[in-house]
Amino acid sequence: MTTYSAPVTDMQFVQQELAGLNEIATLPGFEEASTELVETVLEEASRLAGEVLTPLNRVGDTEGARVEGDRVLLPDGFGEAYSELTEGGWLSLVHNPEYGGQGLPQVVSMSVEEMWNSANLSLSLCPLLTKGAIEAIEAHAEAPLKDTYLPMLISGEWSATMNLTEPQAGSDLAAVRTEATREGGHYRIRGQKIYITWGEHELTENIIHLVLARLPDAPPGVGGISLFLVPKYLPNEDGSPGERNDLKVVSIEHKLGINASPTCVMSFGEGEGALGYLVGEENRGLACMFTMMNDARIGVGVQGLALCERAYQQAVAYAKDRVQGNLPGEPERVAIIKHADVRRMLMVMKAQTEACRAVAYASAAAADYFKHHAEADARALNRSRLDLLTPIVKGWCTEVSQEVTSLGIQVHGGMGFVEETGAAQYYRDARITTIYEGTTGIQAGDLVGRKVMRDGGEAMQALLAEMADCAAEGGFGWEDALSQAIKQLAEATQWLLAHGADDVHSPGAASFNFLMLAGTVVGGWQMARSAQAARRLIDSGSDNAGFYNAKIATARFYADHLLSRAAAYQAAATVGSASTMALSDEQF
């Protein structure tokens, strides 16, 4: 198993040349985000990822989390590692300084989150959920709740969870049965939730559960769901954890991967009822929860990217070390990295990883502009761009991670199938990323239904126009290939707008291939932009020409071997639903 080394040079390149960090740093509130500060943040985060989190990754996988009574115990070293993150202020980077955050751009924070996820996905899941809860509480809660809970969550002294799923209600949240009853200025919560990530542990002094529940007089369906903040310990007047609330862990799941991340069955209100506080308005809880869910969806997309990077690094190290076979003109047996097919696999891994990084960081840039730009029109434009990119980042990057981590095993050959090498863990850990926080099918349906058809394709048309401008500018050598792929995405978009309402099954039948088409083309656009930037830097006499030439060559490989997939995705996305729905239930 290799030691993880954060790709700081590539992260800085994407931040500055593709995401536009220098311009973002001029937005109100980002005045402190100097080049020197960002470099220091990335260098120190890289050290922590490599020296503190990475050594625990294998330990976490083999030891896993376990339940003893009403306690969840974690593998050795996890508590100390989490303490280093909180004591160093690492969990507060992106948050509001009003509540103790550092107020850095999301583009910077995303690089750090990528490092944590590459180094140790299981441990990184804890702050990921807390980050989303902070977003939801700050956006929707009343001031007293913000003042009590946000400083402790932002510091990392307390953590948070998302409680949606129930045994009878997976993605269908209309079927939620957890009950909430009014009691003075608060509520009593009773019910059971499943698949609650980091639902119980002892890393933090308190755990804050955001729980979807239904009031007795609520209307049916998702329009009758409310959101409640339910702390493990009720805070005392001085803010310290006080009396234990009426909630507990029932069990944790035994999973394919992320074994050190406790996935809990949680019971609320077996006694007098768990005390909870309303977040937002009654019966408007799903809209509030979507603030947390959308943040988490981008975060899971970054997990897919991070596992691609980790699998790629391991595969490269193995391919350079493993000697096997001969080549014409070589007097001795060669390392397998010399073989063309191994090179092909490594290049697929490298190109897809770099494309995912660029697309994910583009979403972070849109979030920064949406939240901080002084002009309303610019905020609106970037809000629609972020909305459009969210299902692409979550859906496409995690689907790519399935291919990349699988190729990582293939590069190792038989040793990849042996757990001791570590390659299999990345594959197993990656498998959940296409499932939680909304499956790929849900992301694809969201992209087609809400982000394309609902607004008449307006946001997609703006993106297509920007990509077409890049192709027209040229300077990267495969302009025709990019133009053709953009045209294929545009034609698929028009097909959806023209035919999506003709057949109830058409959007669903088209959605996965449309998502993969969109991700592939947007990734190709970002790779073209990276090649343009690399060429400019070489021409200007910048140092590190080897790195920039590698960017150009990798972008070319993406065009030759990956962007060409767009034609197949377009064909499948526009063929209609007849063959998909042809069989009866009994014929399966």
- 418 is a domain residue: no
For 507, the domain range is 440-580
What is the mean pLDDT of the segment spanning 211-226?
Answer: 96
Distances from the Cα of 195 to the Cαs of 97, 218, 427, 557, in angstroms?
32, 25, 20, 40
Burial 470-489 (b: 16+ CB within 10 A, else e): bbeeeebebbebbbbbbbbb
Distances from the Cα of 582 to the Cαs of 235, 487, 505, 508, 568, in angstroms?
57, 30, 11, 14, 21
69 and 171 together in one domain: no
Kindly report the backbone phi and psi dihedral angles of residue 183, in degrees, each rounded to the nearest multiple of 5, phi listed first.
Answer: -150, 90
Is 265 within 8 Å of 196 (Cβ atoms)?
yes
What's the CA gap between 503 and 496, in Å, rounded?
A: 11
- 428 is a domain residue: no
Residue 156 one-letter amino acid:
G
Distance, first Cα to last Cα, the chain:
42
> Which pLDDT score is estimated for 152?
98
128 and 58 together in one domain: yes
134 and 189 together in one domain: no
- 349 is a domain residue: no
What's the CA gap between 356 and 523, in Å, rounded?
A: 7
- For residue 6, give both structure tokens: 């954060």
The CATH number of whichever domain residue 99 belongs to comes to 1.10.540.10
- Among candidate residues 154, 184, 217, the one where a domain is terminated: 154
Is 8 within 8 Å of 46 (Cβ atoms)?
yes
- 112 is a domain residue: yes
146 and 177 together in one domain: no
562 and 517 together in one domain: yes
pLDDT tens digits along 296-355: 999 999 999 999 999 999 999 999 999 999 999 899 999 999 999 999 999 999 999 999
Predicted confidence band of residue 169 (pLDDT cuts 50, 70, 90) = confident
- 298 is a domain residue: no
pLDDT tens digits along 484-502: 999 999 999 999 999 998 8
Residues 6+ apart with CB under 8 A from 292: 132, 133, 135, 136, 162, 210
* Greatest Cα-to-Cα distance within the chain, rounded to the nearest angstrom: 84
For strand 206-214 and strand 158-163, is the pairing parallel, antiparallel, or unpaired? parallel
Q: pTM score, two decimals?
A: 0.97
What's the CA gap between 74 and 280, in Å, rounded?
A: 34
143 and 171 together in one domain: no
125 and 209 together in one domain: no
Is 451 within 8 Å of 507 (Cβ atoms)?
no
19 and 116 together in one domain: yes
86 and 213 together in one domain: no
108 and 181 together in one domain: no
pLDDT tens digits along 347-402: 999 999 999 999 999 999 999 999 999 999 999 999 999 999 999 999 999 999 99
- Among candidate residues 282, 307, 337, the one where a domain is terminated: 282
- 94 is a domain residue: yes
175 and 148 together in one domain: no
- 381 is a domain residue: no
Predicted confidence band of residue 2 (pLDDT cuts 50, 70, 90) = confident
What is the mean pLDDT of the segment spanning 407-425?
Answer: 97
Active-site annotation, residues: 437
pLDDT tens digits along 558-588: 999 999 999 999 999 999 999 999 999 999 9
Residues 6+ apart with CB under 8 A from 170: none
- 401 is a domain residue: no
- Among candidate residues 282, 302, 334, the one where a domain is terminated: 282
328 φψ region: left (φ > 0), alpha (ψ -120 to 50), beta (else):
beta
What's the CA gap between 537 and 551, in Å, rounded?
A: 11
> Which pLDDT score is estimated for 174?
86
Q: At what angle do helices 121-140 and 143-155 cross, to 10 degrees?
A: 160
Is 94 within 8 Å of 24 (Cβ atoms)?
no
Is 207 within 8 Å of 232 (Cβ atoms)?
yes
Tell me: pLDDT of 172 over 90.
no
pLDDT tens digits along 20-36: 999 999 999 999 899 99
Residues 6+ apart with CB under 8 A from 588: none
Residues 6+ apart with CB under 8 A from 34: 25
What's the CA gap between 126 and 138, in Å, rounded?
A: 19
**Number of separate domains in the chain:** 3
pLDDT tens digits along 68-77: 999 999 999 9
The CATH number of whichever domain residue 253 belongs to comes to 2.40.110.20
141 and 56 together in one domain: yes
**Nearest Cα residue to 353 out of 114, 54, 166, 70:** 114
